[in-house]
Structure 1
Amino acid sequence: MSRPILEVIALGPEDAVAAQSGGADRLELVSDMAADGLTPARETFAAVRAAVDIPVRVMLRATDGFAAGGAAALAALCEEARALRAEGAEEFVLGFLTDDGRADLAAVSDLAEAIGPRARWTFHRAIDRAADRNAVRKQLADQPGLDTYLTAGSASGVDDGLATLLAEAARGDEPGYEPRIMAGGGLQLKHVPVLREAGVTAFHIGTASRPAGWDSPVSPSAVRTWRTTLDG
């Protein structure tokens, strides 16, 4: 098996440096974890980009929840996405649902257009709140740049969603299932062996990289423990 990807949530350059030193392959850059991660300031992205040389995926999300909001809110988010792209961002994280739990194709398509066809992006844990996960994958199958689903398999976390993750990993050659599964959301070290055995090759951690909580920075040693476990 090839080396799995380890992605760590970062709130700023201090986190970014700590995550890279611990062995992270990629960062998810966000602000305001009290709202489960919102779009960071352009200045924060620039500082992080200057501090590390691993890929940085930037969150595109203006409010808590998985609705894009009205036309004005979506237009503002697209403008911010273009500004981040101009600042040098090349990878992003996004995901929106309609009120009935389907993928909000209008919002996703507008943002995909804003960041451009060369940008790569993750559809985040909105899929774990979808009415029909398979339908969302089929809806998004032709979206340019989509290469990853960040998912716990369940809205309540990997413990409850493990069977779903294993089932979806087995469908990797079906239409809509080509994007990489990145397991995250209540992910624990105990989940790693069974997910690796099933062919899952990407893992995402937030609180697991911060033993002292969100008010403290990323711990390089905590990240290193995950790196060692994944590589083992």
Structure 2
Amino acid sequence: MSGLLEVIARHAADAERAEAGGADRVELVGTMEHDGLSPEPRLVEQVRAATTLPVRAMLRLREGFGTDGGEVAHLKGLVSAYETAGADGLVLGFLNAHTEIDVEVVTEVVADARPGWTFHRAVDSCISTDRAWRELRNLPGLDQVLTAGSARGVSEGLDELVQRARGDAFARATIMAGGGLLPEHVPWLARAGVRAFHIGSSARPLGSWKAYVDPDLVRTWRTLIDEQVADVPAAGR
């Protein structure tokens, strides 16, 4: 049994290199400003033409995790444009003024989207992560939750991720660990039942966003993840 490896791509060359290194999927962003904002639909078309990997496009227009009524219309337009351009899924997550998942907005945005989308790290900024996880299980079409277990990254949130994966079957099936993920985190997460992992700067030389994805670095992560997942006894999966 192999794990899922998702790599952040900023352009077609990144996607090609991620595929060459053995990635399973790319998360496409237009820029890494504010930890990732939406790409133009034309970029989705370019990446779709460059790779056979599934492509999930970031749906986020500004800093933070909030939105408003006027922006929702724009977001829904992007959903349609991304699907027309060949995206296989979306990456999104919005919180309300109380730092709780904005269930109404998220549900409206994905209403016409195909099933299979990721709720991103907005979950790590919720005032109550337990409540957030209860709400996540009811969002239509959701199949992955990108989380570090903490707004400060996996190094701070590892214990939370491990505990949640061990105690919650839904979380165990949907967690995609990412946000400062390090190689030493993978064995702990794999033993807790986590099977999906997300990398960005660590797929690039010197961790620089100015560099292209490096197939050899992706391949190193591919090997690590598959070895760790394979080493977990079936009863622990």
Q: Tell me the secondary structure at the aligned position of residue 216 of structure 1.
A: coil
Unaligned 5+ segments in structure 1 are: none
TM-score w.r.t. structure 1 length? 0.94
Distance in 1 (CA, whole Å) between partners of 2:171 and 2:121 is: 15
- Give the whole-Å Cα distance in 2 for the aligned partners of 1:189 and 1:141: 29
Number of the residue aligned with 2:21: 22
CA distance in 1, matches of 2:188, 2:173: 20
Tell me which amino acid in the other structure corresponds to 1:32.
Answer: T
The alignment partner of 1:153 has SS state of coil
How far 1:178 sits from its partner (Å)?
Answer: 6.5
Whether 1:144 and 2:143 are equivalent positions in the alignment is no
Shift of 1:180: 1.1
Aligned partner of 2:209 among 210, 214, 227: 214
Residue 142 of structure 2 corresponds to residue 168 of structure 1: no
Structure 1: which 4+ aligned runs deviate by more than 3 Å?
176-179
The percent of aligned pairs where both chains have the same amino acid is 45
Residue 101 (structure 1) aligns with: 99
Describe how 1:70-89 pairs up with structure 2 within 5 A. Answer: 70-89=68-87
8 Å CA contact 1:149–1:179 kept in 2: the answer is no
In the TM superposition, what is the alpha-carbon distance from 1:171 to its structure 2 partner?
2.6
Cα separation, partners in 2 of 1:46 and 1:121, compared to 1, 3 Å: same
2:42 aligns to what SS in structure 1? helix
Instruction: Provide, for residues 90-125 of structure 1, a one-character-per-residue CA deviation record: whole Å limited to 9, x for no partner.
Output: 31100011111110112101111132xx33111000
Q: Which deviates the most, 20-29 or 71-80?
A: 71-80
Q: What is residue 182 of structure 2 aligned with on the other side?
A: 188
Where does residue 59 of structure 2 map in the other structure?
60
Cα root mean square deviation, aligned: 1.3
**Corresponding position of 1:91:** 89
Measured in 2, the distance between the counterparts of 1:84 and 1:119 equals 14
* TM-score (ref. length: structure 2): 0.92
Question: Contact (CA 8 Å) 1:148, 1:181: kept in 2 or not?
Answer: yes
Q: What is the number of equivalent residue pairs in this alignment?
A: 226
